[in-house]
Structure 1
Amino acid sequence: MGKDKNPRRVADNEAMAKLRMLKTSPQKLNLLAALIRGKKVERALNDLTFSKKRVALDVKKCLQSAIANAENNHNLDVDELIVAEAWVGKNLTMKRGRPRARGRYGRIVKPFAELTIKVRQVEEQA
């Protein structure tokens, strides 16, 4: 009498990877997510490799993880993968402060973000 197996959260031709607690704002991270959305994975990896943004290395690691999940867990062909979806969400926000003039307090917020990348296998047109 065991529990039923959880259904897959993605389709049979998809795989995904999630990265949590990235020390950057969601707004900055969304610029990189928009950069790779809809591209072939090889092109997306090249774009992230040569990007000058600090968080591009973490996004590249997440994309490589999604590719590895597709290859090892779901037996998908790496050469036919595209970045189907890449979305960004908010995570916690650390609140810090700094004393300002006339006894006031300057609030400093240090946001964290999370990134989810979904890759899909598409058959190439001949």
Structure 2
Amino acid sequence: MGQIKNPRRVGEDQAMAKGRMIKTSPQKLNLVAEMIRGKKVERALNELEFSRKRVAHEVKRVLESAIANAENNHDLDIDSLIVDRAFVGKNLVMKRWKARARGRVGRIKKPFSEITIVVREVEEVA
């Protein structure tokens, strides 16, 4: 009597990876996710490697994880993978405060976000 296997959340020719608790705002993270949407994974990795954005390193780690999932868990060919979807969501927002003049408080919000990357295997047209 084992546990029932969960159904796949993505298609048979797709693999997914998620990065959670990334210390940046979703708006900034979405700018980096926009750079890699629809591109071949090799090109996306190169763009993330040489990007000047601080969060590009975290996105690169998630993309590498999605590629590893595709290769090891779903037996997909890594040379024919493209970034099918890359979407960003909100996560925790730490609320801090800073003392201001006359006994007042200045609110500081420190947002976290999460990114989901789905890679898909495409058939090359000859």
TM-score (norm 2): 0.97
Deviations 1:88-124 (A, max 9, x none): 0000000000111222110000000001000000001
Task: Write the distance in 2 (CA, Å) between the matches of 1:21 and 1:89.
Answer: 10
Alignment of 1:27-66 (within 5 A): 27-66=27-66
Give the match for residue 97 of structure 1.
Answer: 97
Q: Secondary structure at the match of 2:61?
A: helix
Quote the residue 2:19 is aligned against: 19
The structural deviation recorded for 1:29 is 0.3
SS of the counterpart of 1:48? Answer: helix
Q: What amino acid sits opposite 1:54 in the alignment?
A: R
The one-letter code of the counterpart of 1:72 is N
2-structure distance, mates of 1:33, 1:119: 13
* Gaps in structure 2 of 5+ consecutive residues: none
Deviation at 1:5, TM superposition (A): 1.7
Q: Which amino acid aligns with 2:47?
A: D
In structure 1, runs of 5+ residues without a counterpart are none
